[in-house]
Chain A
Amino acid sequence: MGTATTPVDNGVNVQALLDARGALAEAPQAAQFKWRATCTWVKGTHSRSAVEGFFGLGEEQKHKTMFTFDADHPEVFASEDHGATPVELVLAGLASCLTAGVASVAQLREIQLHSVKATLEGNMDIQGILGMDTDVRPGFDGIKVKFDIDADATPDEIRALVAQSQKRSAVFDVITNPTNVSVEVN
């Protein structure tokens, strides 16, 4: 709950987002985005992904700089542990998406945040990825997310922030709903 004397500032430019929504309602084709990543094998289970360009607002766009992500597996998998496991990157993606949503919704609802921490845990039976039991899926059995949020709001208002953030989250949607994936070999 904001007060008149201290304007709420979570560092989110909500006005720009609302303006964008207005503009995109007039020109929905500009809302069509394409997100891209490339990934190069390094050695063993170690690979390096990079993101830089994407498409949106009707034209090619670029991040300010290229970002890279090393992925590998830990030594218990007989790997060299040069980076996060891919499933950990999925957890990180979900956490970041929900957290960004919490900040945005809080700004829109004029709730000052002081701290937000998400703790995630995905359960997995690795018999699935090892092909030992075809009844076991390779992916997570389930993901648990716990938020610790300090904000100028009631507990229900904070729960509503987190619920609304899930409703609007791209990664939450990608994980909870089926997505067609087509993989081709050049």
Chain B
Amino acid sequence: MSRCLTQRSIDHVVLERGEVANSWKTERWDSLRLLTPNWQSRLPGFGYEGDEPDGYRDMPQTISFLERYARAISAPVHTHTTVTNVRAVDGGYVVATDRGSFTTRALVIASGACNLPSVPAVAELVPATVARLTSMEYRNASRLDEGGVLVVGASATGTQIADEVHRSGRPVTLAVGEHVRVPRTYRGLDIKWWMDKVGILDERYDEFDSLERVRNLPSLQLTGSDDRHTLDLNALTDQGVRLVGRFVGMRGGKAQFSGSLRNVCELADLKMNRLLDRIDEWAIQGGHDEGLERPHRFEPTRVEASPPLELDLGTNDIRTVIWATGYRPDHSWLDVPVFDRKGRVRHDGGVAEAPGMYLMGIPFLRRRKSSLIDGAADDARDLSAHLARFLGADKGRARRPKPPGASDERAE
């Protein structure tokens, strides 16, 4: 967005509570790698130039990539500047930070979709006899107590943590709710390559009747690794990870799991096959079929006949519970009445329902790829155009947000 605003000669500042790539530096587990291949992080005028386009960036590489981009576009970043409050005033917003306040006519909220762990209510009932942490606090398996671990959630985060923890010798039980199963590669090519080429990642938010549903889809069950292996539930079962249903309750010191495991796996298998059907169809129609591996389907998810519905917590079976149940944004500093009844900013494709306020980097903001680094370019192009029109409609006012030191004085 900063690059697009610069191109449009719109004065702006970028406020960052820590340093560039802060959440990548401070809020991710050690072994995490991007789920998207290197070639796919296409920022405006800045892509991958290394010799492993099909590899997946680890955290130091991701951080370095974003730092180099910030330098390349000379982004006017104010680091170590934490926004504490934003309120609406006549003709704009007052942005209070721990280093003074700014007044601005337009505001882009790009603080991310994953600021806080999203933990189900049942977490409060889990006794203190087991260690409890969220995927945001998890760093590596060696920091965990010995003994069994219950990982709750089977999206990218949960499956990766389950894999790593189980390999460390701590037997893992994985509580599985609805998830999105995809293979890492299909017919020899990365699933993200297919989704990009087929146009799935470019699908727009205004093409969907059930936007609420697609905006709440869990992340693809993927991992980035050198051998590009698929980490699905069958792979975890093969390792000895035990699958149980969604963690839905506590009774008499026992965790209770839903009896719907078979169905959530069936839903995911069917959905994956619909995606593969679509890919095969595209390959035939586009004449890309030649020279590729033959179309094939993956083994359905294996579910044992009667998965356990209860497990003791605090015995040796389960010493630790890790919540990998998703994330949500933190907009607690946003003191503007723009929230829906579930506390989400109301917006139409990133244009918030408050004048001059925009969102970036939220799942399915404008496109399926909106939450990917690769999605930022198109969204920023669209939204910066809207923002420029918004500012242009009222030209009499100065555009530069006022820096610290000029607090509370509106630009005229």
Contact = CB atoms under 8 A, between A and B. Distances in A.
Interface of A: 28, 141-142, 156, 159-160, 163-164, 166-167, 172-173, 175-178
B256 interface: yes
Interface of B: 178, 245-246, 248-249, 251, 256, 258-260, 263, 266-267, 270, 273-274, 306, 341
Contacts, number: 39
A43 B246 CA distance: 41
18 contacts: A142-B306, A156-B270, A156-B274, A159-B266, A159-B270, A160-B267, A160-B274, A163-B266, A163-B267, A166-B263, A167-B178, A167-B263, A172-B260, A176-B245, A176-B258, A176-B259, A177-B249, A178-B249
Contacts of B263: 163, 166-167, 172
Given A156-B273, A177-B249, A178-B251, A166 B306 contact: no
Contacts of A163: 263, 266-267, 270
Query: Which 10 residue pairs of A and B lie closest in terms of their CB atoms, listed nearest first?
Result: A176-B259, A178-B249, A166-B263, A176-B260, A163-B266, A163-B267, A177-B248, A160-B270, A177-B258, A176-B258
A34 to B, nearest CB: 21
Contacts of A167: 178, 263, 267
A139 B395 CA distance: 72
A177 B264 CA distance: 14
B231 to A, nearest CB: 23
Nearest to B251: A178
Contacts of B341: 28
A178 B259 contact: no
Contact of A177 (B259, B266, B267, B270): B259
Given A160-B270, A160-B274, A163-B267, 11 more contacts: A156-B270, A159-B266, A163-B266, A163-B270, A166-B260, A166-B263, A167-B267, A176-B245, A176-B258, A177-B260, A178-B256
Contacts of A28: 341
A162 to B, nearest CB: 8
Contacts of B260: 166, 172-173, 176-177
Contacts of B178: 167
Contacts of A160: 267, 270, 274
A141 B256 CA distance: 15
Nearest to A28: B341
B259 to A, nearest CB: 3
B250 to A, nearest CB: 9
Nearest to B340: A25
Contacts of A173: 260
Contacts of A166: 260, 263
B275 to A, nearest CB: 12
B300 to A, nearest CB: 10
A164 B266 CA distance: 10
A178 B248 contact: yes
Nearest to B261: A176
Residue of A28, A167, A173, A176 contacting most chain B CB atoms (<10 Å): A176
Contacts of B248: 177-178
A91 to B, nearest CB: 15
Contacts of B259: 175-177
A166 B251 CA distance: 25
Residue of A164, A166, A167, A178 contacting most chain B CB atoms (<10 Å): A178
Residue of A28, A141, A163 contacting most chain B CB atoms (<10 Å): A163
Contacts of B270: 156, 159-160, 163
B253 to A, nearest CB: 14
A172 B249 CA distance: 16
A141 B306 contact: yes
A105 to B, nearest CB: 12
